[in-house]
Structure 1
Amino acid sequence: MWVYILKRVLLMVPTLLGVLLLTFAVIQFVPGGPVEQAMSQLSNRTSGGERAGPDASYRGRQGVDPAQVEELKKLYGFDKPAPERFLAMLTSYARFDLGESFVHHKSVWALIQEKLPVSISLGLWTFFLSYLVSVPLGIAKAVRAGSRFDMVTSLLVLVGYAIPGFVLGVALLVLFGGGSFLQWFPLRGLTSPNWDELSWAAKITDYLWHIALPVTASVLGSFAVVTMLTKNAFLDEIRKQYVLTARAKGLDERKVLWKHVMRNALIPLVTGFPAAFIGAFFTGSLLIETLFSLDGLGLLSYESVMRRDYPVVLGTLYLFTLIGLVTKLISDLCYVWVDPRVRLDA
């Protein structure tokens, strides 16, 4: 077991380096970087023109003093060769120093901590509701396979899966968020402006009131995968010989289902549980956050790419890739915990 874990940890290092190296190399050839944007703004201010957008190219060099260009390069760290900058970045990341944002003038860690509550709120509610609804529903569908209940629920979850979350969000806002019909829920934010003045009970009610529509738009499409996976896993186990033997011995059907079938059928779900749980903390939905005016990690990542905020792009990529690799290792170890027949050294 420990040898396997050591091998996996050692394999994480080249994987992480490869991801960072590839992204860093692509960044070197993307036009409209922070230096180019700053020069474009200086050029437009000098000439009295309009301010350039985030995709401005090197045309901003016209009319800018070369000394200012060198100062800008030094300010953003582009006065050094690319290999030297890459090694300096790796050294900082080894100390878990993710750098400082060019745009927000804050550390990347501070930005992540600032945006994390929104992503956690959406992710955890989506995660728990998906499993709490989908697993019992999948078991019920397996027990009643081929019945009208099975067909109707399959149709409902597949329709929910087919509807994009942002389309459902628009429909919810129009219907219940003060659009053309009812105004039952707020349009934006996780809390009301007077949040600090509310009592604890009122704060909980206010939070649930604000989170209802975004969570509904996020969670509906996630029911289908877990539900059908649970159903198929239970059907595979129910048809096996040991279940027929247990029934032949006169065991109660409920005991057969929950004591014998459950453990083997939930192996695919349990092994995917760590990745889904950790992902709930760091998964940001750009469209949902934009639609409901939620300032989370999804919006931060999009704005960082569009505004060429390279420390945020690379810092979050490093952190999320590392978390993903560790979570994958934990998921693989769960196979041994759930099914002792699995041998990692085989």
Structure 2
Amino acid sequence: MAAYIVKRLLLMFPTLLGVLLLTFVVIQFVPGGPVEQMVAQLQGRDGGGEGPSASSAGYRGRQGLSPQQVEEIKVLYGFDKPAPERFWQMLKSFAQFDLGQSFYQRKGVWELIKEKLPVSVSLGLWTFFISYLIAVPLGVAKAVRAGSRFDFVTTLIVLVGYAIPGFVLGVALLVVFGGQLQWFPLRGLVSSNWEQLSVGARIADYLWHITLPVTAMVLGSFAVTAMLTKNAFLEEIRKQYVLTARAKGLSERRVLWKHVFRNALIPIITGFPAAFIGAFFTGSLLIETLFSLDGLGLLSYESVIRRDYPVVLGTLFFFTLIGLVTKLISDLSYVLVDPRVKFD
């Protein structure tokens, strides 16, 4: 076990290096970087606001600027140094968990993550807990009543919910419950006067705002867990030890919850760490955009569009590291749940 953990930890370094290197190389060939955007803005300002766009800034956008001004812009964004040197400096900063400063927001990447994290945590945790609270009991009930009308109807509902994209469902919820019926707010995580409300009113206001986006995310996310739970229970119910327990005269309830339940939940429990940690750092771009929620999904999208490379690479490093550690914890949980698993 110890050797396996050390091996996995050592493998994280080349994995992180490969992800960062690939992304950094791709960035070098993407047009419309921060230097080109700044040059285009200055050229457009000098030309009465009709200068070239960021995507076509290139060399022609520099005609209205002196070479010295262009060099100053490169120094401002750190592009005066060759790419290998910039990459090495980035790695040294990341090794010290310094994710750098945003080009446009004048804030550190850590600060931006902490600002956006509450929104993504709100969406992720509610989606995670509600999905598991619905999916696991539903999967058990479907397995016990396999082939019945209940199983058929719930399977149909689950598959339909899984097939509907969360964004489409969110639009429908906004139109019906936010627009026509006006039962829920159309945007934001809390009301503008949230600070002036009492504690109970704050909780009610927060739940009032979070209902529609969480509903849009839950409907599709619990389908996989429900079907996985059902299939795991069906597989265990058909095994020999269940027949033996029944032959000994044990009640069906005792057989189900004492013997089957523990073994059937192995694939669910082993995926629990990844799902739980992912709930803290998962940003849904479409849902956040639709409901005007300023979370990590929107931050990642805007940083890519604006070519805010420190935010892109900093968040990529952080989330990749979290993902690798979570994957290791998930693999180790197999041994804790099922002692038969060995990493030899």
- Normalising by the smaller structure, the TM-score range is over 0.9
Distance 1:155 1:54, change over 3 A: farther
Aligned 8 A contact 2:132 2:225 in 1: yes
Partner of 1:120: 121
d(CA) in 2 for partners of 1:111, 1:304: 11
Aligned 8 A contact 1:139 1:230 in 2: yes
1:13 to partner: Cα distance: 0.4
1:344 to partner: Cα distance: 1.1
State yes or no: 1:338 paired with 2:337. yes
The 5-angstrom pairing of residues 71-90 of structure 1 reads 71-90=72-91
State yes or no: 1:185 paired with 2:184. yes
d(CA) in 2 for partners of 1:334, 1:66: 59
Question: Cα deviation per residue 1:71-119 (whole Å; 9 max; x = unaligned)?
Answer: 0101100000111100000000000000000010100000000000100
Distance 1:51 1:172, change over 3 A: farther
Counterpart AA for 2:263: N
1:56 to partner: Cα distance: 4.0
Partner of 1:304: 303
Aligned 8 A contact 1:185 1:210 in 2: yes
Distance 1:38 1:288, change over 3 A: same
Distance 1:34 1:143, change over 3 A: same
1:252 to partner: Cα distance: 1.2
1:55 to partner: Cα distance: 3.0
RMSD: 0.9
1:38 to partner: Cα distance: 0.2
For normalisation by structure 2, the TM-score amounts to 0.98
Q: Which runs of 4+ in 1 moved over 2 A?
A: 49-57
d(CA) in 1 for partners of 2:9, 2:71: 42
Aligned 8 A contact 1:37 1:52 in 2: no
Aligned 8 A contact 1:101 1:312 in 2: yes
d(CA) in 1 for partners of 2:221, 2:5: 31
Counterpart AA for 1:63: G
Counterpart AA for 2:217: S
For the residue of structure 2 that corresponds to 1:123, the secondary structure is helix
Partner of 1:111: 112
Partner of 1:48: 48
Structure 1 portions without partners, runs of 5+: none
Aligned 8 A contact 1:243 1:261 in 2: yes
Counterpart AA for 1:105: R
d(CA) in 1 for partners of 2:330, 2:230: 21
1:60 to partner: Cα distance: 2.0
State yes or no: 1:25 paired with 2:25. yes
Partner of 2:16: 16
Aligned 8 A contact 2:40 2:54 in 1: no
Aligned 8 A contact 2:39 2:57 in 1: no
Partner of 1:198: 197
The 5-angstrom pairing of residues 1-346 of structure 1 reads 1-50=1-50, 53-58=53-58, 59-178=60-179, 181-345=180-344
Aligned 8 A contact 1:37 1:56 in 2: no
d(CA) in 1 for partners of 2:339, 2:52: 61
Structure 2 portions without partners, runs of 5+: none
